[in-house]
Chains A and B, each alone.
Chain A
């Protein structure tokens, strides 16, 4: 199938309005005849569920936590971008578009990115009206901070808990619709398959995580807002139960998966302390506003940070990138940290960290200001490490964080399966090869609240005469059987290798070869290792218990089974792209001083992969055109 992005006609700045002017909408009286399944209660899925329910559709929402308020969006700390230009520092929708395209290293779709910037303005209004207590100036007006990769101040924040506050507003909007009866919640439910009938997405197969029952649910359209799959690295900043299963099952039913290997490795997470570690806590990028990153100039310098005088410190970001300094984009900051650590300048007991130091900022602004800006982050740091970061520098390290890749979607956020939509981190849109900080809460929220409700109606306007979708069809039978067979197969392995241990080993392989720095030999090796692990998993995974009730090991095993397939596609994708762009840094393609070399002639496309029934994948290219921005070498010097 040829990819059609369905970008609307007209000049860039008019496209979205042109689309809205012409798109088909559903008569309010007909909306209650239409069922929509939304998977995911995060900012994207939750926003979509609430907004669609407000419009009067019958919406069912599914998520695996016990309440939508716990979806992983809750963990986002730093902020959300919007082109309000409240600071009078020259910001505009175009500038935000420009920064995002450049930050993504010219590997995203112009029309989508412009629309995201356009909608950002309304999002702040929307969230404020819902009661989000954004940070404010003493005048009472909204305050902003800066994030990496830009020269303006456009990030709105609610202390270091921005994601939580946006999510709670979204969750509350959902609860309002639950009370009104247009939204039905299925908490502690996990999607295990998408049902496609006559080429259209018509429902899902889910497992009730409390009773263990496998259920069928039908709808006229299905929306996936299931978040990112960065947990594939085992150690990541994601929540423990984040997974790639819903999108992966959709992929196996025909949805193309785009740019799967583009993973953002975040520069400021806590370093791994030991083998038992289960997660790497993020320290928000906003800390780089006031914190300075450095390592000792001397290799293996074992002095306490306070004993190392300024002349023995290497503020390597300020040195290498004087224009942006500590605020270079994430991919650049992570790679620079890796370079220093590999060269023997890492700090901490495992030499796997660099310093993030607030001394200069505290001297200048006072402890109180730093407390108000980042208080909860410093507290979090102390709770985990037992170290007071007001007194000594934090130790930070790069960690897997965000999936730029995801299901391929067109301008309407529809996947290659008609009637199946993907929103938020689950899709591949907007961020190109590297996401700018604070753009993701934005993308998830505008996808769910403003974009999807307006595009899905174009599809649903043809469904008003369809009537209820039956779940009593061969397609549902078949999908349910496949799910039940897999559960049975997993429980019959009865091996001796705990699921987490296999996951950890997969994570190590991926972090070594398919993360910050990649080369052909390493990735070929990784593919072989992934295959071995997959074999070992299916032969020897230890999955005790049964399927008659809650069984966390079974849940984890199902997710790992999918990760073991996604991992291979990530490596295949990274191998096929013989250039360096954004987070995708191929060692074969770099300048003498270690900067990325992009190949626009041959690789100016998004790679959308088609599942070929387990026998390799087929590549479809969405060629990218840049008419409204000059394509340049990305430089933060």
Chain B
């Protein structure tokens, strides 16, 4: 199949960027989206032109390193897919695809399609952990955890930290990402001790990093490749309010 690609090219965070058009033929429908970019880059390399910079690593939907907005949709057209899981069978022969970086104030462009997401690390640094030390842990079966609670904690913990929720949100809020971590840890008995401080520190860090506020539009959950649920945001709000009214932490 043939595709026309309009790809965002930008030298660095300060430079101005623009869309550049490339045409590819001899594509096959079972190629992955990133393999298509590999092919384009091979063609550019042969011509001695600077290749298109894009982030990727595992290429199986789990590391969260790939990003991209395709025709206005973070991670491309398929709901709950990452870009690396997207295959060309999702497009039709002759389509034109506009490929841009994740856009958000808190995600400055590094080059072309690569963005800097260290702002998300900063949210975790603020408190997205259990402060236990290596060596301190009690026997794992000392505290039984209800099967369903553990499974539910997993649903939240599954977040791959890709930032598609931010790129999709009209306010560039990272509420879904943030709440997934708050919910994961608050649901488990091990995480309950620090739950009050954690949520406050993390929410403050979120705001300090320049992410916008959540206005409950829910677009984030529609794209999230791990299907993190909006209820986690409700959970976060509950935890936040609770922290204001409880002393025990």
| A interface, CB within 8 angstroms of B | 47, 50-51, 54, 65-67, 69-72, 74-75, 84, 86, 122, 124-126, 128-131, 133-142, 158-159, 161, 164-165, 168, 171-173, 175-176, 178-179, 185, 187, 210, 239-241, 273-274, 276-279, 281-282, 380, 383-384, 386, 449-450, 453, 494, 496, 498-501, 542-545, 549-553
Contact = CB atoms under 8 A, between A and B. Distances in A.
30 contacts: A66-B117, A67-B117, A67-B118, A71-B63, A129-B140, A131-B185, A133-B154, A133-B188, A136-B147, A136-B151, A141-B144, A142-B140, A168-B157, A173-B134, A175-B129, A176-B125, A176-B129, A185-B121, A239-B59, A240-B58, A273-B30, A274-B28, A276-B35, A453-B134, A498-B41, A501-B42, A542-B46, A550-B53, A551-B50, A552-B51
Contacts of A499: 45
Interface in B132-177: 132-141, 144-147, 150-151, 153-154, 157-158, 160-161
A549 B31 contact: no
A442 to B, nearest CB: 14
B130 A140 contact: no
A54 B184 contact: no
B214 interface: no
B110 A550 contact: yes
Contact of A383 (B53, B81, B136, B191): B81
A133 B184 contact: yes
A494 B46 CA distance: 9
B97 interface: no
Nearest to B126: A179
B50 A136 contact: no
What 7 A-B pairs have minimum CB-CB distances, sorted nearest first?
A140-B144, A172-B129, A129-B137, A125-B137, A133-B154, A128-B140, A498-B42
Interface in B82-96: 85, 87, 89
A598 to B, nearest CB: 35
B128 interface: yes
Contacts of A159: 154
B163 to A, nearest CB: 10
A129 B190 contact: yes
A461 to B, nearest CB: 19
Contacts of B185: 131
A74 B34 contact: no
A179 B201 CA distance: 12
B50 A545 contact: yes
B116 interface: yes
A634 B89 CA distance: 46
Nearest to A51: B134
A130 B138 CA distance: 11
A66 B111 CA distance: 14
A278 B38 CA distance: 9
Contacts of B138: 125, 129
Contacts of B39: 276
A218 B124 CA distance: 28
Interface in B42-70: 42, 44-51, 53, 55-65
Nearest to B111: A550
B219 to A, nearest CB: 21
A380 B58 CA distance: 13
Interface residues of B, number: 79
B89 A386 contact: yes
B208 interface: no
A239 B11 CA distance: 26
B63 A383 contact: no
Contacts of A498: 41-42, 45-46
Contact of B154 (A140, A158, A380): A158
Contact of A161 (B55, B56, B158, B188): B158
Contacts of A277: 35
B114 interface: yes
Contacts of B111: 549-550
A553 B35 contact: no
B246 interface: no
B21 interface: no
Given A70-B57, A383-B85, A553-B41, A126 B35 contact: no
Contact of A129 (B56, B60, B117, B130): B130
Contact of B48 (A54, A494, A549): A494
A175 B121 contact: yes
B131 interface: yes
Given A67-B118, A161-B158, A178 B147 contact: no
Contacts of A273: 30
Given A137-B147, A175-B129, A176-B129, A500 B42 contact: yes
Contacts of A69: 64, 161
Contacts of A75: 58, 60, 62-63
Contacts of A131: 129-130, 153, 157, 184-185, 188, 190-191
A54 B128 CA distance: 17
B44 A544 contact: yes
B105 interface: no
A70 B130 contact: no
B132 to A, nearest CB: 5
A389 B6 CA distance: 36
Nearest to A165: B157
B128 A281 contact: no
B32 interface: yes
Given A278-B34, A543-B45, A70 B63 contact: yes
A178 B126 CA distance: 10
B203 interface: no
A342 B41 CA distance: 35
B135 to A, nearest CB: 8
Nearest to A176: B129
Contact of B63 (A126, A239, A501): A239
Contacts of B32: 278, 384
A84 B154 CA distance: 22
Given A141-B144, A241-B57, A500-B42, 19 more contacts: A66-B55, A72-B57, A75-B60, A75-B63, A130-B129, A131-B185, A131-B188, A133-B188, A158-B157, A161-B62, A172-B129, A176-B131, A240-B58, A240-B59, A380-B85, A383-B78, A496-B46, A543-B45, A545-B51
Contacts of A544: 44-45, 47-51
Contacts of B59: 239-240, 278-279, 281
Contacts of A542: 45-46, 48
A423 B35 CA distance: 32
A133 B51 contact: no
Contacts of A67: 117-118, 120-121, 161
A70 B65 CA distance: 7
B42 to A, nearest CB: 4
A236 B151 CA distance: 31
Interface string B216-231: 0000000000000000
A555 B217 CA distance: 40
A543 B153 CA distance: 46
Contacts of B161: 67, 69-70
B144 A139 contact: yes
B59 to A, nearest CB: 5
Which residue of B28, B39, B55, B121 has the most chain A CB atoms within 10 A of its CB atom?
B121
A164 B141 contact: no
Interface in B197-245: none
Contacts of B144: 136, 139-141
Nearest to B86: A383
A36 B114 CA distance: 30
A487 to B, nearest CB: 16
A543 B85 CA distance: 27
A446 to B, nearest CB: 11
Contacts of A168: 157
A281 B35 contact: no
Contacts of B41: 498, 552-553
Contacts of A453: 134
Contacts of B153: 131, 133
